[in-house]
Amino acid sequence: MHDQTRTERFPTGMTYDQMLERVRYEGAYPTRERAEGAVRAVLSALGSQMTNDERVDLARRLPAEAALALTGAVPATERLTGWGFVKDLAARNGVSPAVARWDTGAVLAPVAALAGPELLARILQQLPDGYALLFGQAQLGQHLRAAA
């Protein structure tokens, strides 16, 4: 049996509808609308934490609607750690940190695959500690700290 990687399951050039279906599957959301709410909230919050070329490069790899959520956010004045990101997302959306963490993982799994390993590594180098796990990349985060 062929072992598929996550990247193969999320091809580049996917449509927004395909992305929402992947997020709905990853998050086990009951409706498309719930998945779309998670996508918009997480990508907007992520976009506020990214300010360099990585933000533009990631937007180019996302479906247009997702790219707008990412790039439409005003850059934050405070850089948040991964856990701070989750807590801030929870507060903004009136949900528990557990729900915000779940939403983050469901959205960032396909985003990581669309980004690809090189861009994802650049994104994680730019962001404060704790984001690798949010992207489902715990080992990558440890590798980057060791290489720095």
pLDDT tens digits, one per residue of 24-83: 999 999 999 999 999 999 999 999 999 889 999 999 999 999 999 999 989 999 999 999
Q: pTM for this structure?
A: 0.85
pLDDT at 139 over 90: no
pLDDT, position 12: 57
DSSP string, 12-48: TT--HHHHHHHHHHHHT-SSHHHHHHHHHHHHHHHHH
User: How large is the average pLDDT for residues 79-88?
Assistant: 96
The encoded tokens of residue 33 equal 């609308």
- Give 96's Cβ-side CA count (13 Å radius): 3
**Residue length of the chain:** 148
Helix runs in 1-148, H state only: 6-9, 16-27, 32-49, 53-61, 64-71, 82-93, 97-126, 131-134, 138-147
pLDDT tens digits, one per residue of 103-137: 999 999 999 999 999 999 999 999 999 999 999 98
